[in-house]
Structure 1
Amino acid sequence: MNVQKTHDFDYWNQAVSAVCGRFVTQRAHSEFIGDISHRDLGGLSVADIHVNARSICREHANQDRGEDQFYFLVMQREGVMAINHDQQQFVLQPGDIALLDSAKTFEMCPQGLVHQLSVHLCRRTLDRVLPARAKRFGKVQHGNLSGRVLASMLTQIAAPQDEYKHDAQDGAAVQNALISLLQPCLQDQTDTPRGRPLRRMAEQLIQESLPHAPSPTELAARLNISVRQLYRQFEIDGDSICRYVQRQRLEYSARDLLDDSLRITTIAYKWGFTDSAHFSRAFKRQYGVSPRDYRVQTQQS
């Protein structure tokens, strides 16, 4: 077990950088307290943190150092922590769980001394399992059965592990279990205004039907509205049903490209593209690189 502990501010910054990547910490007005211990559970990285800083800001991830390869699955054990991201804020009370994206910038603001557990989940593994539209930043619901089991697992992970030996098989199994339990606890992320339930329902029906999306006539009939009303739901945002379906197919294709055992042609046909050339052109318009280059870049990151 690798343990790093300190109340010294400079050493705290070095320890956090070594364990979690680049963060910028602002001292609290009171005497600074900052302890961090790091454990490797069969390849699964776990950090146990005590700190009373005024704020801890995540800077842009350094890809060369691999700082964007993880999601932080955190459990608030003691104290209260506010998290600011993308002009929004949520608050973690004791027992709350959140998923934070290491590739994004965010600010954590402890309200006094806090105690937090952070488990580093592999980005490629999580992205391969979670649905493309599942949110990847924010509080995790833990009132359902999956959430309660997830909380129980994190509590067990937080317990001392000195008497156990962990191999890579243990670490992979625990990580896969955590990610599987996350799925029912994450709401779908949409940027559709809350006052637009018809568009949200249309999007859900499209996603459930892919790769064979329903025609606008079929979709309107299932929503019990006219085709013109359906078109209007997308036109309000300067969008169209066709473009939305195309984006979804490309999004799911990008997830599949993380699995290098799948041929690119197979992925193209799977998500409704008529041929690999059409797929490649559409993918490059959306992501700026060809499917092949995208796969190479994600494997190198």
Structure 2
Amino acid sequence: MVADMERGRGYERRWNVGEISPRDRFAAWCEILSTTHLAFATDISRRLRDDFAADVREQALGSMSLVDTSVLPHRGQRTRRQVSANTRDVIGLHFVESGRQAVGLGDQRVILGPGDAMIWDGAATGEYEILEPLTKKTLIVPRAVAATVLPSYRNSFVKVLPKEHPPTRALISVLSLLSEQLPTMDAGAREASAALVCELLKPLDSLHGRGEPAPPRPRLELRERALDYIDTRLGDPKLAPATVAAAHGVSVRTLYNALDSLGVTLAAYIRTRRLARSHDDLVFGSDPVGLIARRWGFSSLAHFSRVFQQHYGVSPSRVRRR
């Protein structure tokens, strides 16, 4: 599953979980994530587990590393347990190439899509959820380096960078080029490239939301607005495709066309998001199962238990006992 290639003073490592038994793929992904990024407590629905896929390439860039990742939907949470056992003191810069991902810290929840970039801190707790098949690049920066190039960044876990901010775009362009060219470079070229990347990081340090994004295409704009709307109203039992369409002044058909990349019906997407939030409350909270079901818009405890069992392969009460 892993291929290591030494080139000069650098290295390249590859992982593809598709090369191993389906039942072991998600566990292998957890190990890869811990090796290349950070340790997370991860979870995936039973329906997706056997078909899980992830492809990762890690390349050295001076004392930093550049990681290309393609991965299917799942969730992860970084708790104090993972932070306290941390063996990597790093900050990451994360660029989404395709797909959608939610990232959260407490009550803060950010939805990232193609072209979005963020900074995250390995010393903070938080969570993520891959909502659609995701392709991304991540620059892993040791804190010793970050203290020099990003001295004002501190433990906010996630900081979203404006899409059209010129220094952000320049850094993304250089990292995309390096992802292709690093395997052909000698040690001297790699060190020079690492120095260039450090210089490109510096303008991001004082960035506080300046820069106006280019107007999005109408269909993409509707898609992002609709999904954000859904995520903030999952507890409303009346939430349905018709109410989402009405809230945005479009027909249900127009809404479906904007959301056709989800790969599932909108009703199924809403149900999956509700189940995911319910699962988190069962694992990390102490409220009664019936209260959790009502909180996330399920009409009855019996209905909630049935769809939860179908999705996760285990009953809500058993998840609570675990």
What's the TM-score, normalizing by structure 2? 0.52
User: Which SS does the other structure have where 1:94 is aligned?
Assistant: coil
1:62 Cα offset (Å): 4.8
- CA distance in 1 between partners of 2:114 and 2:187 (Å): 28
- Cα 1:136–1:64 change in 2 (3 A) is closer
Q: Where does the alignment leave 5 or more consecutive residues of structure 2 unmatched?
A: 1-11, 19-24, 211-322
Q: Which of 138, 142, 149 pairs up with 2:170?
A: 149
Residue 117 in structure 1 maps to residue 117 in structure 2: no
Residue 4 in structure 1 maps to residue 15 in structure 2: yes
1:63 Cα offset (Å): 6.0
- CA distance in 1 between partners of 2:151 and 2:57 (Å): 32
Match of 1:169 in 2: 191
Match of 1:13 in 2: 30
Is 1:33–1:53's contact at 8 Å kept on the other side of the alignment?
no
1:118 Cα offset (Å): 0.8
1:79-121 C-alpha deviation (Å, 9 max, x unpaired)? 0111111221111111111000011112111112101111111
Q: Which of 93, 100, 113 pairs up with 1:93?
A: 113
- Cα 1:84–1:161 change in 2 (3 A) is same
Q: Where does the alignment leave 5 or more consecutive residues of structure 1 unmatched?
A: 189-301
1:4 Cα offset (Å): 1.9
1:50 Cα offset (Å): 1.3
User: Which SS does the other structure have where 1:121 is aligned?
Assistant: strand
Where in structure 1 do 4 or more consecutive aligned residues deviate above 4 Å? 61-65, 133-136
1:220-268 C-alpha deviation (Å, 9 max, x unpaired)? xxxxxxxxxxxxxxxxxxxxxxxxxxxxxxxxxxxxxxxxxxxxxxxxx
Is 1:121–1:175's contact at 8 Å kept on the other side of the alignment?
no
1:145 Cα offset (Å): 2.1
Match of 1:59 in 2: 79
In the TM superposition, what are the counterparts of 1:177-196 in structure 2 within 5 Å? 177-187=199-209
What's the TM-score, normalizing by structure 1? 0.55
Is 1:16–1:36's contact at 8 Å kept on the other side of the alignment?
no
Match of 2:179 in 1: 158
1:74 Cα offset (Å): 0.5
Aligned Cα RMSD in Å?
A: 2.6
**How many residue pairs were aligned?**
187
1:133 Cα offset (Å): 6.9
Q: Which of 61, 81, 88 pairs up with 1:41?
A: 61
- CA distance in 1 between partners of 2:153 and 2:90 (Å): 18
Identity, in percent, stands at 20
- CA distance in 1 between partners of 2:59 and 2:84 (Å): 23
User: Which SS does the other structure have where 1:4 is aligned?
Assistant: strand
- CA distance in 2 between partners of 1:107 and 1:136 (Å): 9
- CA distance in 1 between partners of 2:83 and 2:194 (Å): 25
- CA distance in 2 between partners of 1:187 and 1:127 (Å): 21
User: Which SS does the other structure have where 1:146 is aligned?
Assistant: helix
